[in-house]
Amino acid sequence: MNIKTVGMISSYGALEKRGDWLWQQTPHQFGIWDNIQMQALASKPDFLLMYQFDFPKPPSQKSWLDNLRKRQQKPQLNIDSLLRGVSKERIIYLLREPPLTEVVDRNKRNYQDAQKYSGYVSGPDDFAPVPDYMPAIWYHNNSFRELNEMPPPEKVATCSWITSGINRTANHRQRLDFLQSLQSSDIKFDLYGRDLPNWARKSGELGNKWYGMAPYYYNLSIENYADNNWYVSEKLWDALLAWCLPIYYGGPAADKLLPPGSFLRLPSLDEKGIAYIQEVTATPDAWYAAKDAIAEARQIILHKLNLLNWLSEFVTKVS
């Protein structure tokens, strides 16, 4: 089989130097999945993935002050130099951030600019050139084979929530308000995350999300965005791969991708939602009832929704 290499560029700073990006999402060595090899830093890849790449803002009309500061300005980014000679029809642009009100204009500009360089431009919102679900990535350090073959780990605790203290949008602030209300209730759950506010009673940060999920029957999987038919993120994949039953707050995309009963729907981020969490987590019964559906969902995430599988299918169509 002729293996095609797939390179990657992203505006996520943590990925800039990750030569092994996505390698944990395949049972094979060095990022191979079927007919592709994920080589993010390859100098001359056969295909190129632009993964949440934010194009530079268009230059505004310069004032006299801008001219005075010209020497201090960074040189304008040359997009062509980042594409490594890959032809347009073999460049894939996937935007994965949700269309929050505060960033909709930026997302629309990214889509417009991406169409100049990429033959396939997609994202989880209605105004994307190709509206579609985000292919799955996950944030456990376990090997693919371990995740694929493992039985449910021992469950010794009730419920966890892994989140952050980001508050730059109204949706983020709504989630923090719900966290504060939940901690004011008598519901027992363990909170993990970074940059959380001082009032949050947390158990610390995690280097591997597995340790904040695998021992728990339930996980609160609360999206930043729940207002369209496309957006669903790793919050759900991570919980299911750790054999948790997610108590999920998000849009209807998850219902179309996963089997019935593999997650529970949190009705709202208010008193009604708190009452629901309290009722579900009072016993592990719901987890035991959902165990077979969780097992089925895990296989769908690992083998079908997996971003590597998506890329492999794309390469097959184009080649």
Read off the pLDDT of each residue in 31-56 and give the average, rounded to a whole number: 97
pLDDT at residue number 186: 87
CATH numeric code, 4-132 = 3.40.50
Percent of the chain topping pLDDT 70: 94
pLDDT of residue 70: 54
pLDDT value at residue 59: 65
pLDDT tier at 74, thresholds 50, 70, 90: low
Q: What is the mean pLDDT of residues 89-100?
A: 96
pLDDT-derived band at 63 (thresholds 50, 70, 90) equals low
pLDDT band at 66 (very low <50, low <70, confident <90, very high): low
> Does the structure show a pLDDT above 70 at 60?
no
Check pLDDT > 80 for residue 276.
Answer: yes
The mean pLDDT of 96-109, rounded to a whole number, is 95
- What's the CATH class of domain 144-304? alpha beta
Task: Kindly report, residue by residue over 179-238, the tens digit of the pLDDT.
Answer: 999 999 989 999 999 999 999 999 999 999 999 999 999 999 999 999 999 999 999 999
Mean pLDDT of 145-165: 98
| The token pair that represents 177 in the structure block | 């308000």
Angle at alpha carbon of residue 162, lines to 304 and 52, rounded to 5° = 50
Residue 297 banded pLDDT, cuts 50, 70, 90: very high
The pLDDT-based confidence of 274 (bands split at 50, 70, 90) is very high
Residue 111, phi then psi, degrees to nearest 5: -60, -45
Strand partners of residue 136? 306
Say what the pLDDT of residue 76 is.
Answer: 66
Beta strands in the chain (DSSP E): 4-10, 32-33, 36-38, 47-51, 91-94, 120-123, 130-131, 157-162, 190-192, 216-222, 245-249, 264-265
pTM: 0.93
pLDDT of residue 68 exceeding 70: no
Same fold, 4-132 and 144-304: yes
- For 202-230, b where at least 16 C-beta lie within 10 A, e where not — what string? beeebeebbebbbbbbbbbbbbbbbebeb
Domain range annotation of the chain: 4-132, 144-304
Average pLDDT, the chain: 94
* Rounded CA separation 300/291 (Å): 15
pLDDT at 67 over 70: no
Rounded to an integer, what distance in angstroms lies between the CA atom of residue 104 and that of residue 20?
A: 31
Q: Give the pLDDT confidence score for residue 73 in this predicted structure.
A: 53
Coil, helix or strand for 271? helix
Range 11-15 average pLDDT: 95
Of 155, 174, 12, 21, nearest in space to 96 by CA: 12
In the prediction, which pLDDT does 58 show?
72
